[in-house]
Amino acid sequence: MKILTVIGARPQFIKAAALAHEVAITHSLSEVLVHTGQHYDANMSDVFFEELGIPAPAYHLGIGSASHGAQTGEMLGAIEQVIQTEQPDWLLVYGDTNSTLAGALAAAKLHVRVAHVEAGLRSFNKRMPEELNRILTDHVSDALFVPTQTAVDHLGREGIAGPHVHLVGDVMYDVALNMAGRARERSQILQDLNLSEGQYVLSTVHRAENTNEPQRLKAIVEGLQQVAQTLPVVLPLHPRTRRMATEQGLNFGAVQVVPPVGYLDMIRLEQGAALIATDSGGVQKEAYFYRVPCVTLRDETEWTELVAAGWNTLVTPTDANTLAQTIRSRLGQAGQDGQLYGTGDAARKILDILQGGLCR
């Protein structure tokens, strides 16, 4: 069986690692990786393949930043050509990026079966491009691999139910279990940045809803500045966020701004943080994996179970004072213990299902 996997962004590289490792020990399977180039910065792409032990992509489409329509359209055409060349049994996509939607649409139109890993997530905010991507991908998929019961319920309300919907857990948890020790052993990022364990806030900001809205980005920067007056704040800065902040003339002040970091360094920063403030879906989960309180800089989250369990707090980032107060109030506040995302064997379950034909 041949699986064609389309990836293009940091969280997808992480998720792809779990399946790539399982494919490597399954002789009846082969995987062809296609990297769209959606994340083209070396620290957001190449280094992740190296540190995660993912095979080099067979295809690198080199499609970088553009408007949503232009980027998705260019990906759609390029992926279609790869499908016609490779003739896979399955095309597999992860998450909710433009790469995800382009891969799913290209395969569906060529009558190649689509498998969607991390299906069923909903923010119920259709202004988010990610929400549209995940809804459309779910509705053209032949196998939907779902991380939580909440996501299964979302699909059911949209009429997507039956033997092609599979509750398998979260592949990011698979990777977190495998890489946590390696990060502590190999990463020197805390020493390099002169940080002390449990004595700093880690932040990431990249979503268009924050970076493209001047009021929100200004509130985030100023809120982090306030926190940095009393506790170090580290911000690995996404290229788009840096560009937008520069255009607005925003000053990060005491916030320790660093370039994007590799996967092991990012894990180590997450493990050692007192709190994580982020707008990333993946980082929200990683905070929980390492039992670090999280403040999500958004109006809503797909990972509602983290809020219910007390590990995650939502704050709409339109007021700097409120943002800073929320971060300070959550320091040291742990949530409920439990296993929200499976038992660390989601990748194995996915491959067993694909091979067993338990799909529509």
Active site residue ranges: 206
Bin 115: left if φ > 0, else alpha if -120 < ψ < 50, else beta.
beta
Q: b/e for 11-30, b at 16 or more Cβ within 10 A?
A: bbbbbbbbbbbbbeebeebe
Q: Residue type for 326, please? A: T
Q: Starting from the edge strand earliest in sequence, which strands make up the sheet with 275-278, in order?
A: 256-258, 233-236, 201-204, 275-278, 294-296, 312-314
354, containing H or E segment: helix 346-356
The whole-angstrom separation of Cα 218 and Cα 246 is 11
CB 356: neighbour CB atoms within 10 A?
8
The whole-angstrom separation of Cα 257 and Cα 180 is 24
Closest CA to 32 of 112, 147, 143: 112
The whole-angstrom separation of Cα 168 and Cα 148 is 8
For the chain, the 3-state helix, strand and coil shares in percent, each to the nearest 5, are 50, 15, 40
Q: What is the DSSP letter of 113?
A: E
